[in-house]
A and B are shown apart, each in its own frame.
Chain A
């Protein structure tokens, strides 16, 4: 890791100020993507602004049909939260399957959402649960937030302060892990909402990162079960291909994981 200056912010305003004063700052949340990247010298920042002590970015609350999680909440806190388990049990279970116990003690929802790793779990849930990403200056619908690999609608210096999820009638998640990296090679979050609409968020497989599988959503709106997916397939042209799996393999894996998610509503299944 190249030399840097560490700054700890106690408020969102202070974090923004510290960020702007530096020439090439980065925000530090759990740091479990940023620090490994900096250790390998794949990323260089002169200042790291630590967001984890900002009280306004903590907390979990349920209001009506909305579950709101502060951007600074760790995966361990979210997965063990009785509010999250009560409102969206499949979301709690999905978050409990991220990384490992030690990673979940540090990694945060805000960091995961802002990083938009194409194989992160959270973006699929944000899409399926019609999330609203709250920042220090505005609110952004999840559909408009994840723009490309590691790219989001965030402006330079903008901070994810919280995420609101629409509480569905029922939902489920299933992923197939890469045996080495443990990130999903395909992860599918399915949700049936109280207005009857269905949303399907897919991570790990898309060439442009997480995406909604609209064709499956339409089929499932009439019949919310795995049978409705028979005969529907994804275009391999949209899928990632690498040494771990071809685009055709991933396209098929997404369909299989969608079926597994529908068979495990209220929960999350991590395969391998």
Chain B
């Protein structure tokens, strides 16, 4: 057993877990944060994407012990109270989901993608960058639209903040 301590969605947590505990199981089973999904469990589908120390990772392929001392953000940590994150709002506005299973991972990857491209995004870049997230319902079209719309809105917000 190993004691892991990390910040999850701004709150410090500490638990004793098995060394082989996966980060995704730590989040879901030990912390009850079931917004992060397990899809394929083989690092392909991206349903389990969370941010670890500011970077999008597949939490089914990271041990909780590897994240010890780090900072994790999950889909539950994205909204500001009742105010949805701009990308969550854009998924709603543009109907970027059908069954919703891939959505938490899509949104966490989308936020990471927008943050890594502060100068803006085009459709081709979004489609290439979504390589690691699989959706079996939508055909991706509205997901791409939602990410592009949120990227534009977030840039506007950043410009306003700078002015």
Contact B49 A102 (CB under 8 A): yes
A1-B60 Cα distance, complex, nearest whole Å: 12
Residues of A within 8 A of B58 (CB): 102-103, 106
A6-B41 Cα distance, complex, nearest whole Å: 20
The digit string for A26-38, where 1 denotes a CB below 8 A from any CB of B, is: 0010011001100
Q: Which residue of B lies closest to A74 (CB)?
A: B55
User: With A31-B63, A106-B62, A182-B131 given, is the CB distance from A101 to B19 under 8 Å?
Assistant: no
Residues of A within 8 A of B68 (CB): 8
Q: Name the residue in A76, A103, A182 with the highest tally of chain B Cβ atoms < 10 Å from its Cβ.
A: A103
Chain A residues at the B interface, C-beta cutoff of 8 Å: 1-6, 8, 28, 31-32, 35-36, 39, 48, 50, 52, 76, 99-103, 105-106, 182
A-B contact count (CB 8 A): 70
Residues of A within 8 A of B49 (CB): 102
Beyond contacts A6-B63, A48-B63, A101-B109: 18 other A-B pairs, Cβ-Cβ < 8 A, are A1-B22, A3-B19, A6-B19, A8-B68, A31-B61, A31-B63, A31-B66, A35-B61, A35-B62, A36-B42, A50-B65, A100-B131, A102-B57, A103-B58, A105-B55, A105-B56, A105-B57, A106-B58
Among A2, A50, A106, point to the contact of B20 (Cβ < 8 A): A2
CB distance from B17 to the nearest CB of A (A): 10
Residues of B within 8 A of A2 (CB): 20
Q: Name the residue in B19, B42, B46 with the highest tally of chain A Cβ atoms < 10 Å from its Cβ.
A: B19
The digit string for B1-40, where 1 denotes a CB below 8 A from any CB of A, is: 0100000000000000011101000000000000000000
Total number of B residues with any Cβ neighbor in A under 8 Å: 28
Contact A32 B55 (CB under 8 A): no
Contact A50 B66 (CB under 8 A): yes
CB distance from A180 to the nearest CB of B (A): 9
7 A-B interface contacts by CB (under 8 A): A48-B63, A52-B66, A76-B55, A102-B46, A102-B109, A105-B55, A105-B56
CB distance from B57 to the nearest CB of A (A): 5
User: With A4-B20, A5-B19, A36-B42 given, is the CB distance from A100 to B63 under 8 Å?
Assistant: no
Among A8, A50, A76, A100, point to the contact of B132 (Cβ < 8 A): A100
Contact A4 B61 (CB under 8 A): no
Contact B20 A102 (CB under 8 A): no
B129: interface (CB < 8 Å): yes
Q: Which residue of A lies closest to B49 (CB)?
A: A102
Q: Which residue of B lies closest to A181 (CB)?
A: B44
CB distance from A82 to the nearest CB of B (A): 15
User: With A6-B63, A101-B109, A101-B131 given, is the CB distance from A106 to B57 under 8 Å?
Assistant: yes
CB distance from A4 to the nearest CB of B (A): 5
Contact A32 B112 (CB under 8 A): no
Contact B131 A6 (CB under 8 A): no
